[in-house]
Structures are given as C-alpha cells and as structure tokens.
Amino acid sequence: MPTENRTTLTPDTPVRYLKGVGPKTAERFEKLGIVTLADLLCHYPRRYIDFSKPYSIAEAPADTECVVKAEVFAKPGGRILPGGRRMERITAGDDVSSLEITWFNNPYAAQKLQLGQEYYFQGIVTGGMLRRQMVNPQVRTAEQIKASPFEAVYPQTEGLTSNAIAKCVRQLLPHAELLPDPLPPEMLAKYRLLSKADAVRAIHCPATEEQAYAARRRLIYEELLVLQLGIGRMKNRGAAATGAPMRLADPSLFWASLPFSPTGAQRRAIADAVEDMVSGKPMNRLCQGDVGSGKTMVAAACIWFAVENGWQTALMAPTEILARQHYQGLAPLLARFSIRCALLTGSTRAKERREILAGLADGTIDLCIGTHALLTEDVQYQKLGLVVTDEQHRFGVNQRAALSQKAEDPHMLVLSATPIPRTLALVIYGDLDVSVIDELPPGRQKVDTFALGESYRPRVQAFIRKLAAAGQQIFIVCPLVGEADQIPDERKAVTAYAKQLQEQVFPDLRVAVLHGKMKPKEKEKVMAAFAAGESDILVSTTVVEVGVDVPNATCMVVENADRFGLSQLHQLRGRVGRGKAKSYCILLSDSQNEETRARLKVMTQTNDGFRISQEDLRLRGPGDFFGQRQHGLPAMKIADLSCDMRLLDEAQTAARQLMERDPELTDPAHRPLRRRIRQLFDTNADMLN
C-alpha cells in the first residue's frame, strides 16, 4: 500500500510514493517512461508466464523456458564454491522422473522450500532424460498459482526487473479506479468492453487466458478509438463537402501527347481518380505504386483533367530536388495543352516569388509545383481544385491538412512509393480510397541485389569500374555514422569519403558528391551534371532517395546498409533499373547480427515493395517505420498497427458514429474521451487547434 496515506492518490501522483520505491528506483522507472501512478498502471506486460499448464519433468521441452511441477525429494544444505559463490542444490521429482535444481547466491530460494511439498518451477530445463536440470528457476506454490496463474512479464530496464515492477503494480491494482475511463458507459455496453479499471487489473493479473484477451481487446480498442478521433478532428473535412465540381473530358488527347502509352494499371488509377473528381464529393485517394511504376504520369493526367475543367492545381514534393525534377518533366509536357506551371520552393527568389503568388491569386498559373513552401500562409489560390502530394509519407498528417485548407474542399491525390500497409493507411488517412499500380512500364528489369560483407569490397570496386567503362553510372550511398552521441557532420563525412574514392580507388573516374548540407542550387547542379553523364559515380547521403530519375545509372551501392530500414533500401534501389541496361544493387554490411543479415536478405529475395514494407513494419514497428515526426502519430502503447486490423475497423466505425453525433465531444459523457485525445496528441498540439 502507498505509504503516504495523507496525500490522496491521483493518477498524477509520482511513483516514488509507492512503498519500496526510493529515488534510485524512481529514476529507473523514469527510464521506462514511468513517472506517475497512471504511467505505472498503463505499463502493460509484454507477455505472460503461464503457470496454469505445467509440464511433467519428462515432457518438459529441453532448452526452452517452461514451467514444471515437481515435489521436493531431497534438500541437502548449501555449500560455498571455490571463488566464494554459494550454491544450493535440491532434487525434485514426480512419479516418473527427477530434476536437479541449482541456485547460485540465492540461499533463501532453496531454504523456503519444504520437503515433500509440490511446487511450480519456471526456468530452462537442460540435460538428457537421465539427468534433467534447472538453474535459478522462479518458484511458486499451488496457492500462488491459484491466485494468479498467469504472471506478467514487463518491459524492464537495468536495475529494475520485471518482478520488481510486478510488485509495484500489484500494490496499485486495488486503486485501478484512479484511472479515468475515457470510454462512455454506453459504448462499453454496446461493444461489450471491460471498464478501464477491470481491463487494467486483468491485463496485469489475468485469471484466465480469455480475461487477458478481453483486457487487451478493450485497451487496444480505446487506444485506436482515441487515435481515430484525434485524427478525425485534425482532418476537419466537412461531411457535406462537395469537392471541386468537374465534368468528364476525353483523355485520349492527353494520351496522344505522351511518348509512351500508359500501362493498364496507370489507366485504371487515372480512371479511379477521374471518377472521384466528377462524383460531386472531394476525392481522397492514395495512389500506391512501387518505385518506377509511373505515378508521376497519373498525377499529370489528373492535373490535366482538373485544369481542363477550369481549376488550379498544386503538386507538393518532399524535397527541392524532386520538386524541380517534377517541374522539369511536367512543365514542357503540360505546356502543349497551354497549362502554365510555376515552381515555388524555399530558394525561389523574392521577385519571382511575388510574381508566382500574384499568378496564383489571379488564376494565370494553373499548376504550382513545390515543396513545403506551398504551405506558407501568403500562398493563396484563386481556385484550387486538386492537390497532389508526392511521396506522402514524408509529410505529416497536419501538413496535408494545411494544404487542403488553401481551398474549400479540393480533391486530394496522394502518391506513395512506400506501399503503406492497409492498416496504417487507414489510420493516417482515415477513409481513403486506394488505387494500386501493380504493373511496371514495359521493359523494366528486376534489379539484381546482393548483400555482401566487407571482404567483397575489392570485387565490388572492380565491378564498378567495369560498369563505368561501359559508360554506365553508379550511385554510392553512405549513411551518416557519427561517434557516440555526436551529431555526425554530413558534409565532412561524405566529402572525405568521396575524396578518398577519387584519389585512391578510382583516380581514372569522375566522382561527384551530393549531400544535404549543400545549397539547393548546388545540389541541383550536381544532380543535373550526373543526369547529363558528366560524372561516373555519385557519392551521396540519402538525398537521392526520393524520386530521382537517371536512366543511365545502373548500379546502387549502399555502404553500411544495415543502418537503413528496408523500405528506405527499396527506395534507394528504385533509383536504378530505370533504363534498358541490366541494373544492380549492392548492399554492403559487415554486421554479424543475425537479425540484420536476415533483414538484408529480404532485399535480395524480393523486388516487391509491398512485401518489403510489411516486413519492415513487422521488424521495426510503425513508429520507426515512418519516423514518429514524419507521420505525426502518437506512439501506441498496446495496439499494433500492423496486425490489429479487425479492431481498427471496429474502432473506426465507432469513431465515425461518435463524430456524427457529437463532433466536438461536448456531451458530458464524452468529456473524458476528449481529454484523453488532447493528452495523446498534446505533443502535437498544433494539429488539433
């Protein structure tokens, strides 16, 4: 029981008020993100040890953690080992076999056992049938098991074991009611959910497997509901919205202007989008297609269509290089239809910027391509009807909302190369329609991928030389690797590496450098020179990651490939294989870590971006997958966005119904929910306004 009886406990009471929690322990709790009693109650177990179905000694699986039920047969005294370690050894057994159990430096564990009594031992059984052994097991009595058959295992930290955490949690459980329940009673009844206090008690100390499951379900449900509602409030898109009204136009004119004919998948995606734009409702569509699948053309067709219908359009890209490349690709193409384009980025000069702003305000500019600069307040459109965002996952949810507010209810088209798993897409975009471009333009070849260790470096260098001799170009990407805790100096690291390559390895080739610290103009110059074939090797940090199109580049070498996420590697690989020649991706890594090797192996086995992103999501979790800051979503405590799909659907339906009935959540029954939403999103408070 908490020691400070005089203070009334609140959810915000610091954990140090708990019995047995001193300043040291409180500090360790803080490492786990636990400061208050509420934090502790919401520190959910990672898994349970199931004491309810113990093995007999003979049946216990070898070398695996398990629970064995056995009687204490013999209990000789302990002894001191050479070196001063204390050892106690007992013999336990059942009808068939016996088990030798040893504890080191823990005399108390053996002393409290009684001869002839049955216990549950949890640990790893080793040894053959004739001499089964266990070292330092956890011991429970039958009564203890009856009271709590499933024991919670918590995420722990140095100096704070799962057991110690469990002790603290257990003294708090009678106070679980401290936690406010954000879900209104009506909802609990309707969806058959446990109350918050019951769920918290059951998640820490379930009596049955079913109870643990019900508790999990309820807590995940709450988390997803709050998330959906928070995002729903952010989106702020009126239900009665009409979208920019448009009428059908004949796309064959547009097709005829292209140097190639669109793939079936491109045609379908465009048809989907056009159907949305004439529907009388705002389009909210994600166009998902692997790198190189030709999403830009889909965007161009939609832009053409919107402008034909008399609307202005905006195309937002995450980097200046990419915005520029879109501008250079699209402006001449669209000029054939007298569509006037402008490029607006952070480095647009003041005078030109003023002209562009004027053109957007009076409607003489039909398409504005740009970066985040499109979001600044002084950019006003006369009649914005369509907003396309490229490589969406680079933008936060809030930025997208900001752009859509530049007009009443513009149609939104999102292009994404990282195939976003359906669950995450639902969470991030809410009700969003998806078109998948599942077909690459003809003539594309699979990029051969190799994951190699350091010993292959000479061979890789020889290979690069061979490609360059054949007139092909090579990307070499290196991650930023800094000394511990130091922010690496990108410019220095990459420049030094390139210099070394140029002077010591490839004196006969032309090595260029590109990094994020360069001015946009410089970057563009280097990119343009590379695209024009004026350099053989481009050494860079991940600035080349997104979108860059150099068909003559046939080889992507990634240094320290283990430092990148799979989706990022897939993006990088997508920079090559865009021309006719056979292309290669070489992932260099000296990591011996098995998981890392397995991860890189996925890259050599598949070119399927969807599989890769799912694998990535599974291995890294959604937070890392997009980068917390990029997607702007709060971290989930218990829900797993990659697999709690059914609950997510349910929560989404409930959220929608709630938003319809009480959009501002002003009903007193909904206030706790509203408070919870604010709490969860308060690190991103500006998104909620």
- Region binding ligand ADP by CB under 6 A among candidate stretches 292-300, 301-309, 363-371, 636-644: 292-300
Cα–Cα distance for residue pair 621/609, rounded to 1 Å:
17
Instruction: Label residue 280 left, alpha or beta by phi (over 0 means left) and psi (-120 to 50 means alpha).
Output: left
Kindly report the length of the chain. Answer: 689
Phi, psi of 497 (to 5 degrees): -65, -45
Contact yes or no for 346/552 (Cβ under 8 A): no
| Identity of the residue, 211 or 319, whose beta carbon is nearer to Mg ion in the bound complex | 319
Q: Which does 634 bind (CB under 5 to 8 A by kind): Mg ion, ligand ADP, none?
A: none
Rule CB under 6 A: choose which of 66, 145, 269, 297 binds ligand ADP.
297
User: Taking the complex as a whole, how short is the minimal distance between the CB of residue 124 and ligand ADP, in angstroms?
Assistant: 50
Question: What CA–CA distances, in Å, run from 249 to 23, 38, 409, 679?
Answer: 71, 58, 21, 48
Which residues inside 409-438 make contact with ligand ADP, applying CB under 6 A?
417
Total residues interacting with Mg ion, rule: CB under 5 A? 1
Residue 211 or 568 having the CB closest to ligand ADP: 568
Q: Contact with ligand ADP (CB under 6 A): which of 28, 132, 295, 353? A: 295
Give burial (CB, 10 Å; 0-12/13-18/19+) of 400: buried
Tell me whether residue 294 or residue 318 sits nearer to ligand ADP (CB atom).
Answer: 294
292 binds Mg ion (CB under 5 A): no
Number of residues that bind ligand ADP (CB under 6 A): 17
Among 260, 405, 431, 534, binds ligand ADP (CB under 6 A): 260
Which residue(s) pair with 160 in the sheet? 157
What is the end-to-end Cα distance of the chain in Å, rounded? 41
Residues 6+ apart with CB under 8 A from 146: none
| Nearest distance from C-beta of residue 207 to Mg ion, angstroms | 54
Q: Return d(Cα 73, Cα 127) in angstroms, integer.
A: 19
User: Could you say whether residue 184 binds ligand ADP (CB under 6 A)?
Assistant: no
> Using CA atoms, how far apart are residues 64 and 49, in angstroms rounded to an integer?
13
* Residue in 98, 228, 288, 296 binding ligand ADP, rule: CB under 6 A: 296
Instruction: Give, as ranges, the residues between 529 and 588 that touch ligand ADP (CB under 6 A).
Output: 547, 549, 578
- Rank residues 139 and 414 by Cβ distance to ligand ADP and give the closer one: 414
By CB under 6 A, tell whether 365 contacts ligand ADP.
no
Among ligand ADP, Mg ion, none, residue 78 binds (CB under 5-8 Å by kind): none
CB of 12 to ligand ADP, least distance (A): 49
Taking the C-alpha atoms of residue 143 and residue 149, their distance in angstroms, rounded to an integer, is 10
289 binds Mg ion (CB under 5 A): no
Lookup result for tokens 């996925």: 602
Residue 530: CB atoms within 10 Å = 24
Question: How far, in Å, CA of 564 to CA of 418, rounded?
Answer: 14
Tokens at residue 473, please? 């170009």
527 lines the binding site for ligand ADP (CB under 6 A): no
Distance in Å, CB of 170 to ligand ADP, minimum:
54
Q: Select from 181-189, 259-267, 450-458, 596-604 the region that touches ligand ADP (CB under 6 A).
A: 259-267
- Identify whether the C-beta of residue 376 lies closer than 8 Å to the C-beta of residue 403: no
Q: Is 206 in the site for Mg ion (CB under 5 A)?
A: no
Identify the three-state secondary structure at position 430.
Answer: coil
Widest CA span in the chain: 96
Within 491-550, which residues bind Mg ion (CB under 5 A)? Answer: 547
One of 291, 306, 386, 478 touching ligand ADP (CB under 6 A): 291
Q: What SS3 string covers 38-85?
A: HHHHCCCCCEEEECCCCECCCCCCCCCEEEEEEEEEECCCCEECCCCC
Give the helix, strand, coil percentages of the chain, each rounded to 5. 45, 20, 40
Residue 260 interface partner, choices Mg ion, ligand ADP, none, CB cut-off 5-8 Å depending on type: ligand ADP
When the beta carbons of 296 and 652 are compared against ligand ADP, the nearer one is: 296
Contact segment (CB under 6 A) with ligand ADP among 256-264, 420-428, 530-538, 672-680 equals 256-264
Smallest distance, ligand ADP to C-beta of residue 517, A:
26
Give least dist CB 322 to Mg ion, A: 7
Q: Are strands 312-316 and 367-370 parallel, antiparallel or unpaired?
A: parallel
Q: Shortest approach of ligand ADP to residue 300 CB, angstroms?
A: 9
User: Which of residues 25, 211, 266, 541 is near ligand ADP by CB under 6 A?
Assistant: 266
Provide the binding-site residues for Mg ion, judged by CB under 5 A.
547
Provide the binding-site residues for ligand ADP, judged by CB under 6 A.
260, 262-263, 266, 289, 291-297, 417, 441, 547, 549, 578
